[in-house]
Amino acid sequence: MNSTSAVVLAGGEGTRLRPLTQHRPKPMLPAATTPILEHVFDQLLAAGVTEITVVVGYGRTRVQAHFGPTYENVPLTYVTQERQLGSGHALCAAETAIDGSFLVVNGDQLVDSQIISDVRKAHAATEATATLGLLNRAEVSEYGGVLCEEGTVTELVEQPTDDRGYQLNAGVYAFEPRIFEALRETDTQPGEQSLIDGIRELCASSATVRGVVSEGLWVDATYPWDLLDVSFELFEAGLVADDHAAAIAPSATVHESAVVREPVVVAPDCEIGAGAVVGPYVCLGDNATVGSNAVVEQSIIDADTRVGAGATVTDCVTGIGVTIGNGTTIPGGPGDVRVGDRVFEDEQLGALLADRVVDQGGSTYVPGAIVGPDAVVEAGATVRGTLDAGTEVRS
């Protein structure tokens, strides 16, 4: 391989996005109406990549079945990370597919092709062992921070809390094969082999590690409400539905009395009923239905989901095959959202309804509600907090 080859790390689950990732990996969650990973492939191709190796693990059959052996005539080689033991472990799974310098990106983050191109060109122009894509961001505490001196990386800190002049690690890398040796030499944490630790090992061994500052779209969906931000960023960047003709698929049906407020993206075979109002900032996945006089705003409605007549849906993320009954109200955020053992206050999330939730109608959702897959919400119920898979909510 060479610098026009890329390794995409797509083996993780995305536990902080549960329950959406209970049945599919994070890279297959929707950004607008297509999987995050599809957008990653698009940007790699736009940056001139001609060969892609995909490291799969959790939910790998979903990835391979969706994309098959090629993407836009570019060959896809799949390698399996049998156990999810960190980003460094994932990259090592691809070692046998590597020959020469190569790019690495995360399969669950959206990065602009400009960032990928800048890293590729900067690496080709030097004899560095590794080149990192960096962004100037005021806030890096939730991600990885990098310190540089005259373009040379001196320190990498995960979730930094001090006030030094960090730049954000964009998760776009160019490497020489020496990275694999560095990963093997790293003192790993129990149960995890981190790519960042491998880069630190390179720095400690006096290998040249460079950083290149770039610009462009960079969005990470860490928590459920971030999926809304991802799609909104795609709208703002003009990467989806950049004109009215592209916004609504030819096979979609929109009643003449319905109102569609751009920006929206309406996938094939959707149906928008009489008097319905859809948008702005709405993504309707394949075969979604919005009933008569329903209102859907600032929401991601995934494939095969039904929004009933007269329902109001705001700041909502659904999984696949969800039913939102007639007259149900999801009024929108902000709300307090529990993720694991943490509570995030005032997040812009009306509700998250995972795969195959059935809401029988006339229900009300308290902002921040999360409903696990296969739950049933009886007619007229009030839904609040975080509900496990298969829960029955009675009125």
Report the CATH number at residue 89: 3.90.550.10
CA proximity to 357, closest of 20, 8, 129, 4: 20
Q: What is the dihedral of CA 75, 72, 60, 99, to 10 degrees?
A: 30
pLDDT, greater one: 305 or 100 = 305
The stretch 354-375 carries a mean pLDDT of 96
* Residues 300, 387 share a domain: yes
Is there a contact between 159 and 105 (Cβ–Cβ < 8 Å)?
no
Q: 229 lies in a domain?
A: no
pLDDT greater than 50 at residue 114: yes
* Residues 320, 174 share a domain: no
- In the chain, % of residues over pLDDT 90: 57
Tell which phi-psi region holds residue 256, choosing left (phi > 0), alpha (psi between -120 and 50) or beta: alpha
Among 83-87, 183-187, 289-293, top mean pLDDT goes to 289-293
pLDDT, greater one: 285 or 142 = 285
Residue 133 pLDDT level (bands cut at 50, 70, 90): very high
**pLDDT, tens digit, 9 for 90 and up, residues 13-71:** 778 888 988 888 889 988 888 899 999 999 999 999 999 999 998 888 999 999 999 99
pLDDT value at residue 271: 97
Q: Which residues contact 136 (CB under 8 A, 6 or more apart)?
A: 167, 168, 213
pLDDT greater than 70 at residue 385: yes
* Residues 273, 315 share a domain: yes
Q: 231 lies in a domain?
A: no
Q: 228 lies in a domain?
A: no
* Residues 116, 76 share a domain: yes
The stretch 165-187 carries a mean pLDDT of 89
* Residues 106, 25 share a domain: yes
pLDDT greater than 70 at residue 3: no
Q: 38 lies in a domain?
A: yes
Q: 79 lies in a domain?
A: yes
Among 166-170, 186-190, 212-216, 313-317, top mean pLDDT goes to 313-317
* Residues 281, 210 share a domain: no
CATH of the domain at 365: 2.160.10.10
* Residues 285, 194 share a domain: no
Q: 193 lies in a domain?
A: yes
CA proximity to 172, closest of 65, 296, 47, 295: 47
pLDDT value at residue 189: 67
Residue 374 pLDDT level (bands cut at 50, 70, 90): very high
What's the whole-model pTM score? 0.88
Number of neighbouring beta carbons within 10 Å of residue 83: 12
Q: 236 lies in a domain?
A: no
* Residues 285, 207 share a domain: no
* Residues 188, 269 share a domain: no
pLDDT greater than 50 at residue 1: no
CA proximity to 336, closest of 324, 353, 351: 351
* Residues 332, 297 share a domain: yes
pLDDT greater than 80 at residue 245: no
Q: 334 lies in a domain?
A: yes
Burial class (CB in 10 A: 0-12, 13-18, 19+), 116: buried
The stretch 227-252 carries a mean pLDDT of 79
Q: Which residues contact 207 (CB under 8 A, 6 or more apart)?
A: 129, 130, 178, 182
Averaged pLDDT of the chain: 90
* Residues 148, 271 share a domain: no
Tell which phi-psi region holds residue 111, choosing left (phi > 0), alpha (psi between -120 and 50) or beta: beta
- The domain total for the chain is 2
**pLDDT, tens digit, 9 for 90 and up, residues 246-288:** 689 999 999 999 999 999 999 999 999 999 999 999 999 999 9
Instruction: Supply the range of the domain harboring residue 270.
Output: 244-393
pLDDT value at residue 191: 62
* Residues 130, 90 share a domain: yes
Lowest-confidence segment of 21-30, 108-117, 295-304 by average pLDDT = 21-30
